Chain A
Amino acid sequence: GQNIDQPTEMTATEGAIVQINCTYQTSGFNGLFWYQQHAGEAPTFLSYNVLDGLEEKGRFSSFLSRSKGYSYLLLKELQMKDSASYLCAVGLTTDSWGKLQFGAGTQVVVTP
C-alpha cells in the first residue's frame, strides 16, 4: 500500500534551522512535493524534486533520494511566520498523472 511518513511536530527558535524528514513507499513515483499550510488556509507550493539531490530556493531547500525513498525540507533562518504545517506529497503515476498522495503533515512551531 501507500505510505508516507513524517514527524507530527517540531519546535525551533527564531533564526534557527529545522529539517523535516519524509520517507515514502508508494506504488508510483512522479516527484516529491512540499507544501506549506497555515491554519485555516489552502496548501501553498514550496518545492518539487524529481531527481536525486538538493534544490535550493531562498531560505528553503529540499532534498531527494529516490533509492532510499527519502526526502527532507530544510528551513533556514526561521521566522515566526514559518509556523505552519508542512506537507510532504508524492506524485503518483499509476493511472493518472497529477494525483498526489499526502503525508499527515509536520506542524512546525517557531518560538521567539
Chain B
Amino acid sequence: SAVISQKPSRDICQRGTSLTIQCQVDSQVTMMFWYRQQPGQSLTLIATANQGSEATYESGFVIDKFPISRPNLTFSTLTVSNMSPEDSSIYLCSGLDRGTEAFFGQGTRLTVV
C-alpha cells in the first residue's frame, strides 16, 4: 500500500498557539482523513479532508479549531488552533483508495503546556 509521511512526529507547544501537521502520500489517494487518539484511548475521526473543497467535520469538531487543507490528491494539513492542554493527543492522518484498506501516517504526538 501507499506510504504516508507525517510531520512533525512530536511537538511541545505553548497554550494559545497553533500547530500545523502535514501529511504527504507517495501516491494519489481518493480519500484522506484526520483522527485523534487521546492517551489510552482509541482513534476518533476528526474530519474527512476533501480535495479542493472544505473538509467535512464530525460531531464535536469545528473548522475554526481544526482547519484542514487538501490542495491535491497527495497532501493534506491539519492545524490545531488556539491550543489548550486538552488538545494534548496523538493526531494521525489516514488515506485510502477504493478496494484498499486505510493506511496511516506515523502520527504526531502533541503536548500542550
Q: Which A residues form the contact surface with B (CB < 8 A)?
A: 33, 40-45, 48, 87, 89, 95-105
Contact = CB atoms under 8 A, between A and B. Distances in A.
A41 B102 contact: no
Contacts of B41: 104
Nearest to B43: A102
Contacts, number: 50
Contacts of A42: 92, 104-107
22 contacts: A33-B101, A33-B102, A41-B107, A42-B92, A42-B107, A45-B101, A96-B31, A96-B48, A96-B56, A97-B98, A98-B30, A98-B31, A98-B33, A98-B48, A98-B96, A99-B45, A100-B102, A102-B42, A103-B42, A104-B41, A104-B42, A105-B42
B5 to A, nearest CB: 11
Nearest to B94: A100
A24 B2 CA distance: 29
Contacts of B107: 41-42
Nearest to A48: B101
Interface in B1-48: 1, 30-31, 33, 41-45, 48
Nearest to A43: B104
Contacts of A48: 101
Contacts of A43: 43, 92, 104
